[in-house]
Structure 1
Amino acid sequence: MSHALAHVRDIFSFNSTLVRLGIEDLSNEDAVRRVRGGEGSSISFLVGHMASSRYGILKELGVTDENPFLELWGEQQGARDGADYPGIEDLARRWDALADLFDRTLAELGEDRLQGDTNLSVPNPRGTLLGALYFFLWHESYHVGQLGLLRTEWGYQPLQFRFYDFVKAREEEETAAVG
């Protein structure tokens, strides 16, 4: 696996973890709560939007699974009241399954495919699949930041501290397993 692909996978994996940590303690009410006087994004919208984007990448990579996020979040759909969004626990389960499929699919990419042309319509000066993946990393990371901001706005623990707690717990588990 190329260094570039390894880094791309690492950052997508990091984002997957941050999204999961960012939604697992939310109430359904707060998950669909919107900013800007009820006109802006909600956390559920952001997660569904990121998931739909990942399915767009998977389609380009030859995965034929149907995008279950397309109807509610795909094709440039804007945020809405979320009354028809799945509950946050269901959304979290769907995110976890997608994160696993996405990582396994990226792991199978060869260097020729990575440096080859892509049909993904995103700003991409390189014109390659790798260039498109760089754009999607930026795009997704931007939305992960929004998710973190909304969590804090709604009175939840800031995402960075949830991540610190997650890392600390994993280190303690590893130490206990060794010792």
Structure 2
Amino acid sequence: MKNAMLTQFDLHQQLYNNVLDGFSDAESNRRLHGNRQMNHVKYLAGHLLDSQYGLALIAGVDVTPRWQELFAGRGQSEARDDAPYPELEDIKTEWNSLYKPVRQGLSSIAPQELNSTPPKPFDQVARSTGELWAFINHHVAYHIGQIGILRRGFGKESMQYT
């Protein structure tokens, strides 16, 4: 199970960067067609970063989450218009800085740790740390897909997989 989860984690690293490629900061902060029911790319990118912080917690990586008031998960934030969001490049830099330490921590998780109860408040969405990791992987893939659709809506090429 762990090797498959690590393979997904590695793929998400590549796809996160690929799906955001070519977005200007201004574009990433604009809703497609002004539709207030749709999140903008920058919110989704930051929300995905918040998921990485969850994986860092599982992996035992000591990190201080940034921009929590803007991107917190579990219904604690929502996309805002005209908000003081960080630059898209800063969000991507933070995401990329987490990759190696989080991957190292995830790769060293013992099987009994994957079967343990996840840390609070994540125990409300998963019964075990392994289930939480699977949930976060799915969550990341889902939002990368949303950004992929927004790419096309903004007239950009499809996301590259390589």
| TM-score, L = length of structure 2 | 0.87
Correspondence for 2:94 = 94
- Map of 1:58 onto structure 2: 56
AA matched with 1:71: E
Distance 1:122 1:48, change over 3 A: farther
Change (3 A) 1:128 1:18: same
Q: CA deviation at 1:101?
A: 2.6
Higher mean Cα deviation, 140-149 or 75-84? 75-84
Map of 1:29 onto structure 2: 26
Counterpart for residue 73 of structure 1 = 71
Residue 50 of structure 1: CA displacement?
1.1
The CA distance in 1 between the partners of 2:82 and 2:16, in whole Å, is 18
Report which of the two structures shows the higher radius of gyration computed on alpha carbons: 1
Structure 1 residue 122, shift from structure 2 partner: 4.7
With CA pairs under 8 Å and 6+ residues apart, which has the higher RCO, 1 or 2? 2
Using the size of structure 1 for normalisation, the TM-score is 0.79
Aligned counterparts of 2:158 and 2:25: Cα–Cα separation in 1: 18
CA distance in 2, matches of 1:91, 1:135: 22
The gaps in structure 2 that reach 5 residues or longer are: none
The equivalences for 1:5-154 within 5 A come to 5-35=2-32, 37-39=34-36, 40-75=38-73, 76-81=76-81, 83-119=83-119, 120-124=122-126, 127-154=127-154
Whole-angstrom distance in 1 between the partners of 2:20 and 2:12? 12
Structure 1: runs of 5+ lacking an equivalent: 167-179
| Secondary structure of 1:147's aligned partner | helix
CA contact (8 A) 1:58 1:102 kept: yes
